[in-house]
Structure 1
């Protein structure tokens, strides 16, 4: 705790003004997440309407792999846990542990993106691209949007690792790490929805 307090004081992050800025930015980020949730809700609704519009083409049952979706889910859920450990390490002022947990989170997230891209390429190669039917167009849009968000989160993780290495665990850095955590956990929730609404019903 003393180490953390000293680090924050050294960077001028212990004042009430800095804490107030942190609160304001956190509120603003919550508003962003709410708008993002609305976007995903609209994409889920669109998929629900278009799920049966296969135009005589392949359905989810013939395209989806439960094992691949399960691997993706496991990677993303475990990455949420490792990010939680990074947040705990930041509270303790343990910079080395923060970097280690963030690196592991990045590897898990990158594995998720790899599996998703492989799935997309396999479907497109089999003639089941987003232009094949309304069902596939809605599928690629919903799942692809989530994948873009995860990729953005990976870039953000790398940026945060650089800031932790250069600036330490000052209040501005830990504040950004907190917001990144909100974003990453939000993606987990969105993926659970995709797994439950897209993959499981599609395989039944």
Structure 2
């Protein structure tokens, strides 16, 4: 018959947040972090393939990229870059707060990160809406029109823009694919941050247990880093 005292001691040595197949919180943390790094490598491979496609098309059709990038708003792109860099800082500080039992600071930082992500997606919506109205779309749907201004309520297009190089739609296909996939990852990150934020509100994290905050932070930093590459490659072509 087991000693009740030994059972109680075993329960104390195995906290509720420690999965049964781990012997210590450190082992669980490092295993989780290894799993996250493996996942991030697959994400890098995914976007790496797209960056390779970008390099091939740009090498073979440089005139298309030089011509078409002028239709991207560099100011909005730069603002979005600054917003994501700020979100990385707030996310990193959130991890710092979790490690030091600063629950309110953690929730505040996660909230600010969500706010930055929302601003980023809002700006992308403005950009996409403008491209849609002007017909600056992918592949065969590329039908550029001039700015509206003449006609009922200034809503009718004045005509087509000057003819550019052939197959300009290739650039916008790459643009929408890469930025759209990145936006999906931003949405996924927002969902993960919301989940972590809800758990933080229920006091699930502290200096003894902050793994999920750290893992989501790693994912978010990768999302930010991908955009830091996308911005100059798409918006700052010379």
Q: So what's the TM-score if we normalise by structure 1? A: 0.85
The structure in which a higher percent of residues are helix is 1
CA distance in 2, matches of 1:77, 1:84: 11
Structure 1 contact 18–171 (Cα < 8 Å) conserved? no
Paired residue for 2:181, among 145, 148, 152?
A: 145
Structure 1 contact 95–168 (Cα < 8 Å) conserved? no
Structure 1 contact 22–172 (Cα < 8 Å) conserved? no
Q: For each residue in 1:19-76, what CA deviation from the matched residue of structure 2 results, as whole angstroms up to 9, or x when unmatched?
A: 2122112111101101110111111121223343888xx7111x11111001000100
CA distance in 2, matches of 1:89, 1:167: 13
Structure 1 contact 82–102 (Cα < 8 Å) conserved? yes
CA distance in 2, matches of 1:150, 1:173: 25
Q: CA deviation at 1:12?
A: 5.3
Relative distance call for 1:171 and 1:32 in structure 2 (3 A) is farther
Paired residue for 2:114, among 106, 124, 139?
A: 106
Q: So what's the TM-score if we normalise by structure 2? A: 0.73
Structure 1 contact 79–109 (Cα < 8 Å) conserved? yes
Q: For each residue in 1:151-186, what CA deviation from the matched residue of structure 2 results, as whole angstroms up to 9, or x when unmatched?
A: 110111111111111243157961111110100111
Paired residue for 1:158, among 173, 189, 194?
A: 194
Residue 91 (str. 1) matches residue 127 (str. 2): no
Between 1 and 2, higher relative CO (CA 8 Å, sep ≥ 6) is seen in 1
Structure 1 contact 76–112 (Cα < 8 Å) conserved? yes
CA distance in 1, matches of 2:204, 2:32: 20
Residue 26 (str. 1) matches residue 37 (str. 2): no
CA distance in 2, matches of 1:54, 1:121: 25
Partner of 1:42: 49
Relative distance call for 1:151 and 1:54 in structure 2 (3 A) is farther
Runs (5+) with no aligned partner, structure 2: 1-13, 143-168
Q: Name which one, 1 or 2, has greater alpha-carbon Rg.
A: 2
Aligned residues: 191
Partner of 1:59: 68
Partner SS for 1:59: helix
Partner of 1:69: 77
CA RMSD of aligned residues (A): 2.4
Residue 185 (str. 1) matches residue 224 (str. 2): no
CA distance in 1, matches of 2:17, 2:218: 24
CA distance in 2, matches of 1:190, 1:12: 32
